[in-house]
Amino acid sequence: MPTSFKALAELCEKLEGMSRRVPAVNLVADFLKSLEPGEVEPAVSMILGRPFPKWSQQTLDVSWATLSEIIRRITGVDWKVFLEAFSQTGDVGSAAKVVFESCKVKRQAILFEKPLTILEVRRSFEAIAETAGHGAREKKERLIEALLSLASPLEAKYLVKIFIGEMRTGFHEGLMEQAVSRAFQIPLETVKKAGMVLGDIGTVAALIKAEGREALSKISFQVFRPVKLMLAQMANDVAEAIKEHDGKTAFEHKLDGARVQIHKCGEDVRIFSRRLTDVTRSLPEIADTVRREVKAREAIMEGEVIAIDNEGHPIPFQHLMRRFKRVHEIEDMAETIPVGLYLFDILYLDGESLITLPYHQRRQILAENAGGIPLTKQIITDSVDEAEEFLREAIDCGHEGLMAKRLNSEYTPGIRGKNWLKIKPILEPLDLVIVAAEYGYGRRCEWLSDYYLAARDAETGEFLVVGKTFKGLTNSEIIEMTKRLKELAIKEEYRKVYVTPKIVVEVAYNEIQKSPKYKCGMALRFARITRIRDDKTPEEADTIQRVREIYQKQFLKKGNIRVWNSI
């Protein structure tokens, strides 16, 4: 019998109120066991707040402005009800639930409707995502209205959360891996490795449900299905990296560009951003270069795309982001902002996964298959002096710093560990999310130019404000940012606009200090935006736990650790 979407919504509601992890994992495991094979992946994705699996290129592309207008139209409720509920909860889904509960006629009508199922919701999401062409906006709105019209208040709450990508139940991907392990009695490490290869924990769960645990022994990378990227931690200097890696390590120039994952099969080449979005149309010359230079039939490689001037020198990151956004008049933009590609890793070659090979061996295989495409400049050394000289060279060339990679390390998709370390000769910037903005004064009175910056709580999913700034963006960037933020606006009071947390910015600062002003107890001193990180999702933003870690390091050096203990 098909599983109702109400059952999934009730599960999420229970998770939202649970603070202990083990009972939450058991609850989800029991739910997964009760599902039909075809329901497993959609359910896992929705519980994690996603309409589709992580590798999918489908997007709903629905703004809060559109969604809120549809909710008002369906319910006919005075929007003050939503604003009051949002002020109390700070949660868009919970506020939407209150609006639906206030609509008595609506609640009576749905008693006579066929209940929504998990698969019907997925099919609705697919129809919304596939809507294109003339009249697409109106058709998309009709599909959303039809879906929400069938929803109870509780179902509406979680549909809205999925639409805007803000689940906030605290049940993250790591816990889902545990739930899948428990549900199907498979070792957690096996589940994690399968997730690395298939790029999505829901896909792993569905495969086990349909074909049994034996199916995991046969899985392999699939060209054109992007996988999560291996991530790096920060190191204070090259000496720390050499010590962490027990001597010799591979130092490479850390380019000020955009990381890409390149898939090739025959003459077909596709390029994926670090968000796993297909950006091939925006970078046709990179695809042509790979097609021409890489002779292997099948390959999955990683590299960095940088914007360059006429002499081949790197130019600022923001120029590169203009290329990634552009899908029309590419030839003109390619002449204005030329780009270059540097490769640094290879994951798959002609039917064989390479991720369990040591890094130095993968690098050698990459060099043998890259043709004329340059690799990131590298030295292998255990000399601090030599590494520091290499760092100075990288900075002089206009790059960000260095990467340090353990020579015998495997490639671990989606894992942030110490096998790869980032070294930058400046105070570490933070990737933060804009959650609200205020109109400026004087010439900026019509622009949202003062931004509230938040870090994500890794435990709860909540975004906690750590400061605000009006510095860093140009007037043209502020005008564009104002347009984007208005599309994400949830409510407005006086001169302040609250928005759904979607836009990531890189933020420099002088210090992190104790502050009773914000819920997290900390604030950035002299914060300024250094660039807009459209290549990152809010889930990739820095966590509040990371902010506290940096704060703690400051006072370890200053001998004032007691201040840390009070936060």
- Each residue's pLDDT tens digit in the chain (567 positions)? 899 999 999 999 999 988 899 999 999 999 999 999 999 999 999 999 999 999 999 999 888 889 999 999 999 888 888 988 888 888 899 999 999 998 864 544 554 567 899 999 999 999 999 998 888 889 999 999 999 999 999 999 999 999 998 888 889 999 999 999 999 999 999 999 899 888 899 999 999 999 998 899 888 889 999 998 999 998 989 999 999 999 899 999 999 889 999 999 999 999 999 889 999 998 999 999 999 999 999 999 999 999 887 777 777 676 777 777 655 556 666 667 788 999 999 999 999 999 999 999 999 999 999 999 999 999 999 999 999 999 999 988 888 899 999 999 999 988 888 999 999 876 678 999 999 999 987 778 789 999 999 999 988 888 999 999 999 998 999 999 999 999 899 988 878 999 999 999 999 998 888 888 899 999 998 899 999 998 888 988 999 999 998 888 765 544 443 444 444
Q: What is the CATH number of domain 238-422?
A: 3.30.470.30
Please give the Cα distance from 355 to 259 (Å, whole number).
18
DSSP string, 9-42: HHHHHHHHT---HHHHHHHHHHHHHTS-HHHHHH
8 DSSP 8-state letter:
H
Residue appearing with tokens 């640094």: 344
Tell how strand 298-307 and strand 352-353 pair up. Answer: unpaired
Among this protein's residues, is 254 annotated catalytic? yes
- Going by the DSSP 8-state scheme, the letter that residue 133 receives in this structure is S
What CATH number should be reported for the domain whose range is 5-164? 1.10.3260.10
* Annotated catalytic residue, options 140, 157, 161, 254: 254
- Say which CATH class 430-565 falls into: mainly beta
User: What beta strand segments (E) does 445-503 contain?
Assistant: 448-456, 463-469, 489-493, 496-499
Q: Could you tell me if residue 398 is left (phi over 0), alpha (psi between -120 and 50 degrees) or otherwise beta?
A: left
State CA 255 to chain mean position distance: 20
d(CA 550, CA 545) in angstroms, rounded, equals: 9
* Integer Cα distance of 89 and 92 in angstroms: 8
Contact 456, 542 (CB under 8 A): yes
Q: Which helix (H) or strand (E) holds 326?
A: none
Q: What angle do CA 562, 563, 567 make, to 5 degrees?
A: 115
| Nearest C-alpha neighbor of 324 from the set 275, 254, 289 | 275
**Residue type at 554?**
Q
Q: What is the dihedral of CA 330, 331, 333, 337, to 10 degrees?
A: 120
Encoded tokens for 26: 């058991």
Show me where the domains of the chain are located.
5-164, 238-422, 430-565
Say how far apart CA 9 and CA 152 lie, in whole Å.
Answer: 10
How much is the pTM?
A: 0.82
